[in-house]
Amino acid sequence: MFRRRLTWFWILLTALACALIARLVDIQALHAEEYRDLAARMLTQPVRYLRAPRGSILDRNGRVLVSHEPSFDISVHFAVLTGQSSEYLHALARELRRRGEYPESMSLDEIAGRLRLQIAATWQRLSELTGRPVSEFIERGEEIRQQVARIRMAVRRRTGIDQPVAEESDPLLAMHPLIEDVDHETALKVRLELEAYPWLSVAPGSRRVAHDADAAVHLLGRLGAVSRERQQEDPLAGDELRRLRAGESCGITGVERLAETTLRGTR
């Protein structure tokens, strides 16, 4: 009896050892290149900086004239906004299938077709959740397309090469704010229901609020998108945590511009 138990114990122990050895061979030999690439990607992921809150503007008595108020922006990928999303959807379909969200037996065209249907349904559901008409999304999408087209044209004039710009293809910069200044409750609803879609994101944003300063609003100034010229002229261009970055805002006129380096936060 004792010898039989001992035999079964050694059989079990040998089986576990064989399973462990097989797993090590799988990792170290069969899939070594895949795991090496994965480790390299994890170690070399680009640093992503969060936008810093902008400082308030006060009068000489310490009364707040303009302040930074948190809000949320709902952004959509540029390829989806243009309607020319075939290449983007096929790349997305390949990634989703690799992650196991779709079976290997399903073709990329089939997956892309399903994604198109989801995109079509996104607009109506987004309208219901935010209380804004779909026509507003279409109008805003056209503004974004024209803005990116101007950027691409400027780059082509400067370099002599017509190629996609970062605002079209970069994983971060290609996400353009479609709906800005959304309250927390609405942002939460959209995030819970729609943020599973890779082409849509809900990100912290901000807005500048003037407090009883209507008479001086033109002196206080306004914010606008960071241009390439402003980046080149930025006195803090050498400071990685304070320099202007594409896709952010900066002071364009008035006090907002004159005190830009003071009002600008640190990431």
pLDDT tens figures, 88-137: 888 888 888 888 888 888 888 898 888 889 988 889 999 999 999 999 98
For the chain, the average pLDDT equals: 81
Looking at residue 193, the DSSP 8-state letter turns out to be H
pLDDT tens figures, 188-202: 888 888 877 888 988
Give mean pLDDT, residues 29-37: 67
**So where are the chain's domains?**
2-43, 64-210
Q: Per mean pLDDT, which range of 123-127, 179-183, 205-209 is the poorest?
A: 205-209
Give mean pLDDT, residues 227-249: 81
pLDDT tens figures, 120-133: 888 999 999 999 99
- Which pLDDT value is given to residue 133? 92
Please report, rounded to a whole number, the percentage of residues in the chain having pLDDT higher than 70: 88
Instruction: Quote the pTM value.
Output: 0.62
Whether residue 161 has pLDDT greater than 50: yes
Residue 247 banded pLDDT, cuts 50, 70, 90 = low
pLDDT tens figures, 51-89: 777 888 888 888 888 888 788 888 888 888 887 778 888
Structure tokens at 141: 């999408």
Report the half-sphere exposure of 215 (CA within 13 A, side-chain side).
1
Residue 203 banded pLDDT, cuts 50, 70, 90 = confident
Please report, rounded to a whole number, the percentage of residues in the chain having pLDDT higher than 90: 3
Computed from CA positions of residues 137, 143, 146, 152, in that sequence, does the dihedral angle turn out positive or negative? Answer: negative
pLDDT tens figures, 144-157: 888 888 888 888 88
Burial class (CB in 10 A: 0-12, 13-18, 19+), 56: middle
Q: Residue 251 to residues 72, 200, 257: CA-CA distances in angstroms?
A: 20, 28, 4
- Which pLDDT value is given to residue 44? 46
Q: What does the chain come to in residues?
A: 267
- Which pLDDT value is given to residue 49? 65
Please give the full DSSP string across 3-55, using - where no structure is assigned. Answer: HHHHHHHHHHHHHHHHHHHHHHHIIIIITHHHHHHHHHHHHSPPP-PPPPPPP
Using DSSP's 3-state secondary structure scheme, residue 140 falls into helix
Structure tokens at 123: 């607009």
Using DSSP's 3-state secondary structure scheme, residue 179 falls into strand
Q: Quick check: 146 and 152 in contact, CB under 8 A?
A: no
